Chain A
Amino acid sequence: MNLSNANRIKLPEIVPTRSRFRNPIGKYRLALNNDCTSCGICVDVCPYGVHVIKRGKVYVKNHYLCVGDDCPNPCHRVCPVNAISITRNPTFEVLGDYRWPADLLASTWYMAEFGKMPPKGLEYKCGKSGGGFDKIKIAFRKDQSADMEDDDIDVGVELNRRGDNAHRVRIEVPFYGGGMSYGSVSISTMLSRMRAAKALGTFCCTGEGGYPDELKPYDDNVITQVATGLFGVREETIQRVKIVEFKYAQGAKPGLGGHLLGEKVTPGVARMRESVVGYPLFSPFPFHSVYSVEDHKKHVDWIKAMNPKALVSVKVSTPTDVDMVAIGSYYAGAHIIHLDGSYGGTGAAPEIAKKNIAMPIEYAVPRVHQFLTKEGVRDKITVVASGGIRCPHDFIKVIAMGADAICTGTADMVSLECVRCNKCESGRGCARGIATTDAELAKMIDVEWGTQRVINMFLAWRSEIIRILKKLGMKSLKELVGRTDCLVHLDYIQKGKE
């Protein structure tokens, strides 16, 4: 009998959930010229449903599903009248950036629509940043692959390792939603993420912007954040949840605190944050009451006094002495140390900070893991990584470097069709209705639709993670933690060969 408890909850179903927009963006574009006789051969040969026939007429309905040259059965080769031409979509070339190239965006959209990894045609395993995750590969040894059922693989994570009086919390998937405040994102976006978290047996963090009443039905899956501005923090909100997160710093703008631009402070946001409509809000840095580990412990004790069963997570960014910060947090009584790497997401941050301050998560996790191991406390604290973990392959790499679980943020946004235009902060906020408090724009997201998109993406992640673990011959995710021998770095193997 399987005792791994891998399926304590019934996983939600995958429901195909198409783009909100009429024309999903794909890598290729097809054109049918006037020679087309609507014979329907292309409709039959295409494995991806690109062509459809309607009232006796063939047309291209789903350009975005075409895999181009990767297609095993290309329609344009079998077309009897050579009516089909396939070209790269010029829009696709403009889309994306080094971290999230167009391929990675499009594959995440695919996952959010279909709940599985894209078949072909898209590079979904890494980005083009030229370093860190994008230079590291997962190394599989021969005959390592385990012959197991997917359900036998345990990808859940215990969050309370101190063995104290706090809740025994286990997440059924090895990730939870990182903090995005009410104000930086719309209530529909928040609800979509929150409901997906509940369905998947995990959590989602409120961010620093209060705890809207709409989230009450999901109390058991909410992490509430206590950050330096203390916006919306009340005794009652602390008592409602199982996990409380202290945000000391944020990877995108370490050492600089938060900033909500005036335009985003709508009446709803102002009410929640007990502030004035239209005035920008600054969350200062650092906590003005914390200048030492002892002060930090006082904060943790304060939470424990209000909610003795709560797990305490400490979110920090990644300075050179991140290992010392981690051990300090452990001794102050934290259950979770959450490392937010310097390339993490944000609603608005100075570009100089996003690019330069603090170290990427790929450096911080091995450092902290090794240091906590050396200090003999690694198995007493949960290490959660975030800040630039974009896809299942990044996930596997960061766990092998030493994290127990991860937080996601940008990936959730992309599943809701974020195009990474970087304009979250401008005017009325996100033109695509994701990161906005504008009442009209926020209507662009239907909560049912959003929930299913997030669920689909994470179910795709989950099956991909299980596939990789099986291929590595591992029965549970725990076995992978800190296994850097499962990774190779392309720069160093080449140097080793020379």
Chain B
Amino acid sequence: MSSKYVIHTKQVPDRFKALSKSGVIAWEEGCLKCAVCVKKQCVYGVYDNRGLDPRQMIDSIDNQCMNCYRCVQSCPKELIQKSINPEFKVMGDTHWTPDIIARLWYQAQTGKIPVSGAGYPGPFTGPGFDSMWTDMSEIVRPTRDGIHGREYISTSIDIGSIPKQLMFSDKGDLIGREPLVMDIPLPIIFRLPSFGSISENTLMGWARAARHLGILLALPAKLINGNLEGYKSNLIPIFSAEDKVKKLGDEIRMVKVLWDGKNKKLLETVRRLYPRTLIAVSLPLKKGSLKEITDLISEGYSIFNLEATFQGRSADDQSRFAKDDIRSIHQTLVKDGIRNEITLTASGGFAMAEHVAKAVICGVDGVFIDFPILIALECRMCRRCEKGLTCPVEIENASQKWVAARTENMMGAWHNQLLEIMGAMGIREARRLRGEAGRAMFFDELDREIFGTMDKLEEGLELE
């Protein structure tokens, strides 16, 4: 048996001061100059740690404040108040929320999973993946001694086509070709984000992380040159209709082709030049995706990536969430008896570890992630780089080593979170998590089932 897959993490400090959600505001006017100022008594030593004279009343958004409100509630002249940090609030968008971004920073810095006290403070339900819960197993289930215990919870997945059976000749030789399958230890593949202040160092850092983690990084084929060549076995060249397909060497284990629905010639060329390489066909996630997939299966392709939008929606309808389309495509392929013969992945909008687990539950084998590996490098999703403006956290200047360590930290935290979710479900293999929708709960179904009958509004009813 192979050894346990462990991602080693260590503290990797931020290069810039992180934005915090709220800060402390203090006024000087009216200060009584108490012998022992309440600021001196801060349990967390915030006023001392920030290296300012604690008696100096300054207006400051303080990223060390832990929100205990003790100074606010104790100052005899009520001169200290808390205030929302407007800069934090406007980060990202409705999908890449400030909270998600801040949590990714924390994970990349510490390599730890976010742990906190008190009950979940968020909304009851939400759009997309927020409208599902995962199951747990109460009593009846196989023994285990904690997710980090002796038993192994595997997050590995297979990519490729697994034949139903192997055929051998009388002499014991395999008939036909050896099946092409690759296994990777995480249901995650990196993909170059569509924007970002990315330098060669950044790419090298990500490639290093991918190699160290045993996974891959997908990026446009034309970028694979120079120093990156050394990382070929962990790179997935992406070919699109504009590219001239070229052979990049036998180390390449997988290529990705952006399928526009018509360019058959591109596919053929790739197949010809990469006969012993896994070929993933990436197609926009939309109404007709299923038909396209079944057509391509009949032509012998077996790895498909469903490309959702930047915010995890269907390409042709912003109101539909990738989760729902993935589920229905998976279910149809199961019904048609062909799901096991192919590999299905998804990309676009995966922002948290739980999204990976939930996408797998909905029916994909694994996912491509893009912006989380950029946010790991302190990206604030301000998109200034898209407009040609400078990056506030100078990602392009970060060293390879720092990029790799931050990225690995984040994946270490994600891996542990996958273990948490799977451990609670009593599932010990990511391969078996795929399509386990019966062990998940969906808001749309559950809410109506339970509350649907609470719909009677009689005349004269008073509501409270």
Contact = CB atoms under 8 A, between A and B. Distances in A.
Q: Which 7 A-B pairs have the closest CB atoms?
A: A424-B117, A131-B124, A255-B424, A97-B121, A431-B68, A255-B136, A21-B73
Contacts, number: 302
B362 interface: no
A363 B83 CA distance: 36
Interface string A339-360: 0001111111111111111111
B124 A346 contact: no
Interface residues of B, number: 81
A252 B121 CA distance: 11
Nearest to B130: A355
A137 B22 CA distance: 33
Question: Which residue, A288, A351, A484, has most C-beta atoms of chain B within 10 A?
Answer: A351
8 contacts: A140-B464, A286-B139, A291-B140, A295-B139, A352-B352, A359-B133, A422-B117, A496-B456
A495 interface: yes
Contacts of B116: 348-349, 351, 354, 422-425
A59 to B, nearest CB: 12
Contact of A423 (B67, B76, B358): B67
Contacts of B143: 288, 291
Given A24-B73, A348-B117, A425-B115, A98 B67 contact: no
Interface in B85-119: 103, 113-119
Given A100-B121, A423-B67, A393 B74 contact: no
A130 B125 contact: yes
Given A344-B119, A351-B116, A484-B454, A356 B354 contact: yes
Contacts of A410: 118-119
Contacts of A139: 457, 461-463
Interface stretch (A88-96, A146-154, A212-220): A88-96
Contacts of A495: 455
A353 B424 contact: yes
A292 interface: yes
Contact of A256 (B119, B424, B450): B424
Q: Is the interface of A mostly helix, strand, loop or mixed?
A: loop
B63 interface: no
Contact of A350 (B69, B73, B121, B420): B420
Given A21-B74, A131-B447, A350-B420, A441 B43 contact: yes
A317 to B, nearest CB: 6
A141 interface: yes
Interface in B118-165: 118-125, 133-147, 149
Nearest to B116: A422
Given A90-B82, A255-B425, A492-B452, A319 B138 contact: yes
Contact of B119 (A91, A95, A252, A441): A252
Given A130-B123, A316-B138, A353-B420, A424 B452 contact: no
Contact of B455 (A251, A295, A355, A488): A488
Given A349-B116, A358-B133, A255 B450 contact: no
A488 B464 CA distance: 10
B162 to A, nearest CB: 30
